[in-house]
Amino acid sequence: MSGKSFNVSPSRVVSQRTKFRRIITSIPVPQSLSTLRRLGRYEARSMHGQLPVLWHKAKDFQVYDKFGNCWIDFTSTIFVANTGHANPRVVSALKKQLAQGLLHTYTFASEIRAKFLEKLIKSLPSFCQKAFLLSSGTEATECAIKLMRMYGIGVNPEKKVIISFKGNMHGRTMGAEMLRGDPVLSDWIGYKDPNMQALNFPYPWLADSSRYDWGLKFKKDMDLLLKHGLKPQNICGFIIESYQGWGAVFYPKDYIKALCSFAKKNRALVTFDEIQGGFGRTGKLFVFQHYGVTPDLICLGKGISGSLPLSAVVGRKKIMDLPQIGSMSSTHSANPLCCAAGLANLEALSENDLVRQSQRKGKLLSERLLQLKDKYPERVFWVSVRGLLAALILKDPKTGKPDADFANKVCEKAMQKGLLLVHTGRESIKIGPPLTIPDAALQEGLDVLEECFEEVERQAR
């Protein structure tokens, strides 16, 4: 996610008092500015760029500040709080773990870790036999890189090429940024690993007809890499962000199917990065299920705990056990508090049938966003919705070019009216409420989005 510095001069805004929203101060709130400034002074600026709201409390699908304001949350703190902010099951599991008095174990055994792992593996598809627990998504990516390389080198010493997609996001550490294949963002690395290559992303809008052969497109894209000297037998794995993040852009199904059969034929592994899309966000437990394929590894994060720093790589035992005892570790991984949150979060997900809820509510979301596109065909370039994940991709009606400024303005206006949207810094607005959001709050949030959209559109004319 890239960012923008939002204006922090308080604006007088129309007050809002509805069942789900309350805005009763200027926005940003004048009393919040000293804290925002302190963060600006002491924290590296790369952490910033989100909307200037000082969060005090977040409960289920609502966010509160200390000054009497309350927002409907369409962000889930960037796709983390799938089971709702401060889910009661998670809170009570954390309290119990705190009361037990075990806050850290590193690699020493704990009962809560065994309980969580057992529940996790049993909740996942059958190829998921073992997991490696970590703390952040980017660590899970690094772990998947290591496993794919170790697997490949075990087959043939030259089998170490990892194929990713240009523009995909897998995290901010070195390996993860190299996968992105972006010469500007990975400039700081200083060299290009010849064993990491990236395909162009198969944006669905590139197809000139609904009969476009995406399987053939994959073959042609792959041939381009092969023409430059890459040998198929030297590919150890593919890593796929399950949809391209900034615009929730899904791959054409036939493209992914062709990729998976190519990988199988050439004994390469397929890793799906489900860090953002996993745990019901898109109306299925995992995004790869939309494509009708079975990966070898999945990377999990964000919604895995709904709150605490927890991530995982999961796959077949044979691959997961490639690193020797002690040769893959992370001090804070599998922390008892994170495991307690992870276990309670999985229970909350199934107890409330949230994956199905996400699919059902996704239909409401889709209907409303498609109406918006129909109303503003000159402004909305693309709508993507699956489950409770959506993105509107926007263009300038005059030039047809991407319009990030319009997206920023809608996000800012929505904040002033009591709705938090995911600001991407690009020409997209993303939507991802907690899967627990009531239908009426979802509809109200969409009303606000439409209102803001219309106001920004009117000002732009």
Ligand X SMILES: Cc1ncc(COP(=O)(O)O)c(C=O)c1O
Site residues (CB under 6 A) for ligand X? 136-138, 141, 169-171, 241, 245, 273, 275-276, 301
Q: From residue 107, how far is each of 113, 132, 327, 335 by CA, in Å?
A: 10, 12, 12, 9
Count of alpha carbons within 13 angstroms of residue 424, beta-carbon side: 25
Q: Decide: 120 and 131 in contact? Cβ < 8 Å.
A: yes
Q: Which is nearer to ligand X, 180 or 417 (CB)?
A: 180
Q: Decide: 135 and 334 in contact? Cβ < 8 Å.
A: no
Q: Decide: 251 and 290 in contact? Cβ < 8 Å.
A: no
Least distance (Å) between residue 19 CB and ligand X: 32
End-to-end CA distance of the chain: 29
Q: Which is nearer to ligand X, 202 or 215 (CB)?
A: 202
Report CA 215 to chain centroid distance, whole Å. Answer: 26
What DSSP line would sit under 339-383, residue for residue? HHHHHHHHHHHHHTTHHHHHHHHHHHHHHHHHHHHHH-TTTEEEE
Least distance (Å) between residue 339 CB and ligand X: 17
Least distance (Å) between residue 134 CB and ligand X: 9
Q: Which is nearer to ligand X, 287 or 448 (CB)?
A: 287
Q: Which is nearer to ligand X, 312 or 394 (CB)?
A: 312
Q: Decide: 304 and 310 in contact? Cβ < 8 Å.
A: yes
Least distance (Å) between residue 168 CB and ligand X: 7
Q: Which is nearer to ligand X, 89 or 430 (CB)?
A: 430
Two structure tokens written together for 454 = 């219309």
Two structure tokens written together for 274 = 């489900």
Least distance (Å) between residue 352 CB and ligand X: 24
Q: From residue 182, how far is each of 164, 178, 198, 246 by CA, in Å?
A: 11, 8, 9, 15
Least distance (Å) between residue 309 CB and ligand X: 8
Q: Decide: 195 and 237 in contact? Cβ < 8 Å.
A: no
Least distance (Å) between residue 263 CB and ligand X: 19
368 class by beta-carbon count within 10 Å (0-12 exposed, 13-18 middle, 19+ buried): buried
Least distance (Å) between residue 183 CB and ligand X: 20
Q: Which is nearer to ligand X, 241 or 403 (CB)?
A: 241
Least distance (Å) between residue 237 CB and ligand X: 16
Nearest-CB residue for ligand X: 137
3 state SS of 390: strand
Count of alpha carbons within 13 angstroms of residue 252, beta-carbon side: 20
Least distance (Å) between residue 276 CB and ligand X: 4
3 state SS of 328: coil
Q: Which is nearer to ligand X, 215 or 303 (CB)?
A: 303
Q: Which is nearer to ligand X, 70 or 287 (CB)?
A: 287
Task: Output the CA angle 65-66-70, nearest 5 degrees.
Answer: 35
Q: Which is nearer to ligand X, 65 or 241 (CB)?
A: 241
Hey, which residues does 394 pair with through a beta bridge?
380
Two structure tokens written together for 427 = 């020409």
Q: Which is nearer to ligand X, 16 or 141 (CB)?
A: 141
